[in-house]
Amino acid sequence: MRRAVALIAMAVVVAVIVVALATSVGRGSGGYRVEALFDDAGFAVPGEQVRIAGAPVGSISAISVTKKNLAAVTLTVSNRDFVPFYSNATCTIRPQSLIAERYVDCTPGSSSQHRLRRIKSGYGKGSYLLPVTQTSSPIDPDIVQDVSQDSVRESLSVILNELGTGLAARGSDLNKVILRADPGLQQTERVFNVLASENKVLAKLATDSDTVLAPLAKTRSSLADFVVQANRTATASAAEHTQLAASIRLLPPFLKELKPLMADLGQLASQGTPVVKDAGSSAAALDAEFKTLVPFASRAKTAITDLGNAAQQSQSSLVDSQGLAQQLETVGSSAEPTAESLQKLLTSLNSTGGIAQLMSLLFYGVGATNGYNADGHYIRLAPVVGSCTAYARTAIAGCSANFSGASASSASAKIARKAVDEVVGKQSGSSKPADTARLSGLLSYLTGSKS
């Protein structure tokens, strides 16, 4: 049995060496190369992806075996945004799918540490060495499942017995290998100590877990969808890591410029507090107003519907009236010069008192031709003839129409009175005393003198 196990191990080593020799020719020289040492390469092959934070940044360029029977995996990182690697960097080979595909998941480390040591000579010259203490390989799920089978379980028992015999005197070395198998095991003791110190909290967590998980169980489909959407979001974010990095770099100056605005916004909020309080006090009135608005809106809906129907019915008439509107526009444009001239005339008459004088002429003209006696109204047909009624080109003394002085007014009044007296004397046989009195009164009103 020991011979069979040795033969199997030797065959695996030879196969790995053959694959390494076959792929070493294609080792890429470009990009940032990291020579990562693993206890087990986990069936990884050249060409598979190298990821950082879930985003593909490079690929496996070569795999070989060192003199100490360690798997040397050459990682070529082509994305310069994720280099260099530092002394606290880690890499893990993870399953990519259920068909045994693999990828290497790496963490470049923090810039506060030293960079990885560069290999100056020998195999992997020019690459950066990542020691085996900072790498780990997964246990394939099919191996765990095969343990449940009888034949595998028996074979595993034999292997463990043989390993126990071979490692009986190498407990310390075995302890180192086990701790190095997964970096997480190095922190196991610390985790258990923390859990021991929090045993009461854990007990309470176990007691309250049913209360917490019961609502989650009811919404497990939504929770599963959340996980799926979160995965999609993380994938999309990883694909846009360059833009996200640029946005994060622009965030500090943006916050610096935003600070004065937030200060102003704080002052606005402080000053707006009384307004909000007043609005709160009037909220009841606004609520009542909005409640009253509901029936109004319901009734207005009918009115608006009727208005729409009326507009639809009158649409053809409005369209037909476009010709009339165009004609009116043409008439208005043509009448614009005439309207401007008429405006100037009326403005001139108004500013010079022409309209008032025209109204006075009409008023006094009607009063001069219209008479009234005991029988009613009558029209005077006999003209008033005097010394000032004849047409003349030059001014006649005492006949001026410009009432600028008292002497002229007095002379005009005397001449007018003399003319009236002559008319009254000629018509005394046919006129009545009442007419004579009215004519004298009119003359006194016009001349402003007393008879």
CA distance 260 to 386: 97
Mean pLDDT lowest for which of 157-166, 266-275, 296-305?
Answer: 157-166
Q: Give the other-Cβ count within 10 Å of 447's Cβ.
A: 18
Number of H helices, E strands in the chain: 14, 10
> Looking at the predicted structure, is the pLDDT value of residue 94 above 80?
yes
- Where does the pLDDT of residue 386 fall: very low under 50, low under 70, confident under 90, or very high at 90 and above? low
Range of 158-167, 170-179, 227-236 with top mean pLDDT: 227-236
Residue of higher predicted confidence among 278 and 78: 78
> Looking at the predicted structure, is the pLDDT value of residue 250 above 80?
yes
Supply the mean pLDDT for the chain: 77
Count how many residues are written for the chain: 451
Phi, psi (degrees; rounded to nearest 5) at 34 = -125, 125
Pairing type for strands 55-65 and 376-379 reads unpaired
> Looking at the predicted structure, is the pLDDT value of residue 423 above 60?
no
CB 86 within 8 A of CB 111: yes
Let me know if 118 is exposed, middle or buried by CB neighbors in 10 A (0-12, 13-18, 19+): middle
pLDDT digit string (tens) for 406-417? 444 455 556 555
Tokens standing for residue 426: 């000629």
Relative orientation angle of helices 2-24 and 150-166, to the nearest 10 degrees = 90
pLDDT at res. 2: 45
Mean pLDDT of 100-108: 89
> Looking at the predicted structure, is the pLDDT value of residue 445 above 80?
no
> Looking at the predicted structure, is the pLDDT value of residue 363 above 60?
yes
- Where does the pLDDT of residue 3 fall: very low under 50, low under 70, confident under 90, or very high at 90 and above? very low
pLDDT digit string (tens) for 107-162? 999 988 999 999 998 888 899 999 998 998 877 776 766 666 667 667 777 777 77
- Where does the pLDDT of residue 87 fall: very low under 50, low under 70, confident under 90, or very high at 90 and above? very high
- Report yes or no on whether pTM surpasses 0.85: no
Mean pLDDT of 17-26: 39
Tokens standing for residue 381: 């047909």
Tokens standing for residue 173: 């070395």
pLDDT at res. 49: 94
pLDDT at res. 438: 55
Q: What percent of the chain has pLDDT over 70?
A: 72
Range of 46-55, 186-195, 264-273 with top mean pLDDT: 46-55
C-alpha distance across the termini of the chain, in Å: 168
Which positions ≥6 away from 235 have C-beta within 8 Å? 54
The residue among 352, 350, 427, 351 whose CA lies nearest residue 382 is 427
Report the DSSP beta bridge partners of residue 34.
75, 128
CA distance 374 to 433: 11
CA distance 25 to 118: 21
CA distance 41 to 91: 11
pLDDT at res. 82: 92
Residue type, 297: A
pLDDT at res. 104: 94
Tokens standing for residue 102: 């693999």
Tokens standing for residue 228: 């799926």
- Where does the pLDDT of residue 7 fall: very low under 50, low under 70, confident under 90, or very high at 90 and above? very low
Mean pLDDT of 359-369: 78
